[in-house]
Structure 1
Amino acid sequence: MSTRLACVVFDADRPRLVADFWAELLGWAVTIDRPEEVDVAAPDPDGADLALAFLPATRAKHGKNRIHLDLASRSIDHQRLQVDRALSLGARRVDIGQGAVPWVVLGDPEGNEFCVLEPREEYVDTGAVAAVVVDTRDPLRLAQFWATASGWPVAHGGERIAGLRSATGLGSWLEFVRTPEEKSGRNLLHLNLASFDDQAAEVARLRAAGATPIDRDSVPPATAPTLTLADPEANEFCLLRPVRDHSTR
């Protein structure tokens, strides 16, 4: 298979502002800074962290995002420091009905929810981002689709939560958590897949696994150069076109 998970994409009113927030919070760097896209990535080129991309788009946020980031911590003190740092950079505390839990729910400068987790053994080697979390009504079914789409194996699966991780054992998890709410409207965060060979063949493979095409008129212009699809629960994702190799002629 010649497709891999490439990045988590944020629709943003102010892409550079939100990108700067995440770069500072994670200790990452801005790697692309253009009017149509700002990217943030981990400093280790050999790691398996997913990049973050911020695209200009008119946002209409209603309720909790269906995709969010969980941040790792090494200790309770480190968790507290992470929360304080996020608040100093422009985050705010968010109540999504979580109640008394050991993790802290915050919103970035444009209200995108994220969690600063208490120390957990399964995230000790993930780097700054413990997991990219997707709300779903059927965790195992959606995990199986994304395992097929990305090539990441299902590492654990159950009725409440299922998780994928790169076969290398490096980088963040991709996790699917049961939620009773159905998807409504376009997601403000989505995943991008990168295709390295025949895009038509990849589209056919993804459609056989349960993906459906989306009309370009329903997505922001910034994503138009890519091919936009939806997973079995209608979560939008993009398949990036293959990049030509100009290193040899």
Structure 2
Amino acid sequence: MALRPVQVNIKARDAAAIGRFWAEALGWSAYSPGMTTYVGPAGGLVWPDPVALGIDVVPVPDGKTATKNRTHLDLATTSAAHQAELVARLEALGAARVHVGQGGDVPWTVLADPEGNEFCVLEPREAHQDTGPIAVVVVDCVDPRAMARFWGEAIDWELCEVTDDHALLRSAEGGGPYLEFLRTPDVKTVPDRIHLDLLPYPGDDQAAEVARLRALGATDVDLGQGEVSWAVLADPEGHEFCVLAVPS
């Protein structure tokens, strides 16, 4: 049994507007299949087998309260000119430069979307040539090695690298973004504004997958979601994630 990451879930007060922002940022399209706004490559929703790790923007009544999100996206660029153009275009769309403790001479640019969700526009890197527009999903953590153990068992992505400072996972099929657990000094204080949604493969059982995750150290989380078709869990460091229902 295994689970596959299928989307990055972003909470927003104006889901449609934030969905449009991220569609423009990634060169993708925004779709509104219901209350949420899904952002993915052109061609419409391909569910339950999306062709890329998409973004699902979910409307919520409250704005961002944490000083810094513990999960953010790193965007890929292909050249210095592309990086500069992308930063300028995103600022024109409403992004703002922010300081989250990065040094003044880092080669990437830290921005926040119009609702304050931080992300980075990276300098060109060889490792990101085939990731698509999202190079990395970055999760702050205390212990990258422990996160690598849990997530290496939780999902069907392979562990590429692990040190005391960070751990990298990526789909065994190659292509697509990396998932990075990055050691940081700050601690989690509020529910995550951004998290991963995982989906069982056809024929697998959602309840069995949830039980397997609990055995690995996940815990159930009540965020006031009520009776829903997905299960809300947290990893051993408290990062929330969802296990979606197997499509019928």
TM-score normalised to structure 1 length: 0.91
- 1:87 aligned counterpart, secondary structure: helix
Distance verdict in 2 for CA 1:220–1:99, change over 3 Å:
farther
Residue 179 of structure 2: which of 150, 174, 179 is its match? 174
Q: Which residue of 2 is the match for residue 119 of structure 1?
A: 124
Partner of 1:247: none
Return the offset for 1:219. Answer: 3.8
Structure 2, unmatched stretches of 5+, are none
- Check the 8 A contact 1:195/1:242 in 2, yes or no: yes
1:214 and 2:210 correspond: no
Residue 97 of structure 1: aligned partner: 101
Structure 2 partner of 1:183: 188
Q: Among the aligned pairs, what percent are the same residue?
A: 47
Q: Indicate whether 1:50 and 2:49 are aligned.
A: no
Instruction: Decide whether aligned partners of structure 1 residues 158 and 169 sit closer, same or farther in structure 2, where only a CA change above 3 A counts.
Output: same
- The amino acid across from 2:31 in the alignment is T
Partner residue of 1:68 out of 72, 77, 80:
72
SS at match of 2:171: coil
- Alpha carbons of 1:169 and 1:80: their partners in 2 closer, same or farther (altered >3 Å)? same
CA–CA distance in 1 between the matches of 2:185 and 2:40? 33
Map Cα deviations across residues 55-93 of structure 1 (whole Å, 9 max, x no partner). Answer: 111234221100000001111111101100110111011
Distance across 2 between alignment mates of 1:241 and 1:102: 40
Aligned to 1:199: 206
TM-fit CA distance, 1:146? 1.3
Structure 1 pair 210–48 and aligned structure 2 pair: CA distance change class (3 A) = farther
1:129 correspondence with 2:129: no
- Letter paired with 1:106: L
8 Å Cα contact 2:63-2:115 kept in structure 1? no
Alignment of 1:78-89 (within 5 A): 78-89=82-93
Q: Which moved more, 1:46-55 or 1:77-86?
A: 46-55
Check conservation: 1:47, 1:170, Cα contact below 8 A. no
Mapped contact 1:59–1:188 kept (Cα < 8 A): no
User: Which amino acid counterpart does residue 117 of structure 2 have in structure 1?
Assistant: N
Unaligned runs of 5+ in 1: 245-249
Which residue identity lines up with residue 209 of structure 2 in the other structure? E
